[in-house]
């Protein structure tokens, strides 16, 4: 008589329940960290844009207008003193896939540069909080 080796249905169910409990406990913690890292990435990108905008201003004597936008950091909008590109790559979207908002003159400084957060709308808290250049 040969004995077949393997796992019983009960053993497999117990393992699946344990894995499900672990995922339920660990999953929310990981998602919080992912959202926090997206917010930090947006802050870092805004700081890099700020440095590029300052370099643009040193060359041209002013910041790009709202109409010229951040694209003026990559391609010359027809300005004689432009000595760019001031960024090595094209303007990326924010970590949530939305374009950054740039206004010059700004309401909070010479320019306003911000991401609208996960919801893509002004205001919000938590993951929907706007990431701004003036804070």
Domains of the chain, earliest start first? 35-132 (3.30.700.10)
pLDDT digits (tens, 9 = 90+) for 106-130: 999 999 999 999 888 888 888 889 9
Q: Check residue 7 and give its pLDDT.
A: 78
CA 108, CA 130: separation in Å to the nearest integer?
14
pLDDT of 2 over the 70 cut? no
SS3 79: coil
């Amino acid at each position: 008589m040969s004995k077949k080796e393997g796992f019983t249905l009960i053993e497999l169910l117990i393992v699946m329940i344990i894995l499900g409990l672990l995922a339920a406990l660990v999953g929310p913690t990981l998602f919080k960290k992912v959202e926090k890292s997206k917010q930090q990435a947006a802050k870092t990108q805004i700081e890099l844009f700020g440095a590029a905008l300052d370099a643009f201003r040193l060359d041209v004597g002013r910041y790009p207008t709202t109409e010229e936008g951040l694209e003026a950091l990559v391609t010359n909008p027809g300005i004689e003193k432009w000595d760019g590109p001031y960024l090595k790559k094209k303007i990326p979207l924010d970590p949530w896939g939305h374009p950054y908002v740039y206004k010059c003159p700004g309401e909070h400084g010479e320019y306003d540069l911000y991401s609208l957060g996960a919801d893509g709308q002004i205001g919000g808290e938590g993951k929907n909080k706007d990431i701004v250049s003036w804070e």
